[in-house]
Amino acid sequence: MMSDIFQEKKVIAPIISLKNIARLYKMGNQAFYALNNFNLDIQYNDFVAITGQSGSGKSTLMNILGCLDYPTSGEYKLKERDVAKLDETTLAGIRNLEIGFIFQSFNLLPRSSALQNVMQPLIYRGMPIKERRIKAELALTRVGLKDRIDHLPNQLSGGQRQRVAIARALVTEPAILLADEPTGNLDSATTMEIMALFDELHQDGQTLIIVTHEQEIADRCQRVIRLTDGCLVADSLNPQIEQHYKEQQLIKESANV
């Protein structure tokens, strides 16, 4: 059964393909590789945790995956398009169309309401305001904040702010959702809520990449990647989660029958 799924996925090209990626930082006379000889494929609808100690290259990887930074060398294909050497303006367009960012510190625009925050990325694709509003309201409804759309970020709790950020990432219908320590500033109950939301999105077909150093979070992801000193040292499927998804799938199927 499991092998069947994998065969199916192999037919489709991976959504993300990194080949021999290196990222060199120069500080004065010193130079070091934040990433070196890095290879990684991520498939459609993967739910990946990227883990590692601080300084292991997680953030650099995240910035390159999010098209915020350029690799010094190597090939990065996003949806089969080579994005490693595109100019800044084109990369901005790719960030807008393909990537949804979720940050540890939420990074909402402080003087804009929840609705305006969620509408913001749609401005950059030239969407008229009426359409923006409809889409943003839908996204906020999806994360359970329908009744908070006119609140400013400082009128919301941490969990609610992160939900607004998730809605902002979802509203563009991105190819990948890139979350950098999304629960780092949240208490454990809220963390569970947010992880449950990610779970839901994954089951709806979303591709998710979560950068985390917490084992608990990694345990809730389908696939766990471990970095040390800019190199990939482990890449494994999480058996418990696989089991969990299988059960969920069975429940769905039986319900349909």
Partner 1 sequence: MSSVFFKVVESTRSAAHSVRAHGFRSFLTTLGIIIGVASVIAVVSVVQGLSSSITSQFDDMGTNVVSINAFTPLKERLQGKVAKLTYRDFLEIQYKVPGISHITPTVAATGPNGVVQYKGESTATRVVGTGSSYQSLYGVFPETGRFFNINDDKSRRRVAVLGDSIIDKLEIKGAVVGQYIMIGGEWFKVIGVLEKRGKLFGFDQDDFILLPYTTTRALLGGAEEPDISISLQVDNANQLDSIKQHIQNLLRRNHNLSKEAADDFKISTAEQMLETVNSITSSTTMVLSGVVGISLLVGGIGIMNIMLVSVTERTREIGIQKALGATRVDILLQFLIEAVFLCLLGGLIGLAIGYGIGALVSNLIDLPSAEVPMWAVMLSFGFSAGVGLLFGIIPAAKAANLDPIDALRYE
Q: Are 209 and 178 in contact (CB under 8 A)?
A: yes
- Residues 185-219, buried b or exposed e (16+ Cβ, 10 A)? bbeeebbebbbebbbebbeeebbbbbbbeeeebbe
Candidates 36, 38, 50, 95: give the one binding partner 1 (CB under 8 A).
95
Considering the complex, what minimum distance in angstroms separates the CB of residue 248 from partner 1? 32
Candidates 3, 30, 54, 89: give the one binding partner 1 (CB under 8 A).
89
Q: Is 47 in the site for partner 1 (CB under 8 A)?
A: no
Residues 122-141 that bind partner 1 (CB under 8 A): 123-126
Residues 68-87 that bind partner 1 (CB under 8 A): 68-69
Q: Residue 227, Cα to own-chain centre: how many angstroms?
A: 17
DSSP code for 151: -
Query: Please, which residues bridge with residue 227 across strands?
Result: 52, 232
Residues 164-183 that bind partner 1 (CB under 8 A): 168, 172
The tally of CA atoms less than 13 A away on the side-chain side of residue 164 is 30
* 95 vs 220 by CB, closer to partner 1: 95
Residues that bind partner 1 (CB under 8 A): 63, 66, 68-69, 88-89, 92-93, 95-97, 101, 103, 107-112, 116, 120-121, 123-126, 168, 172
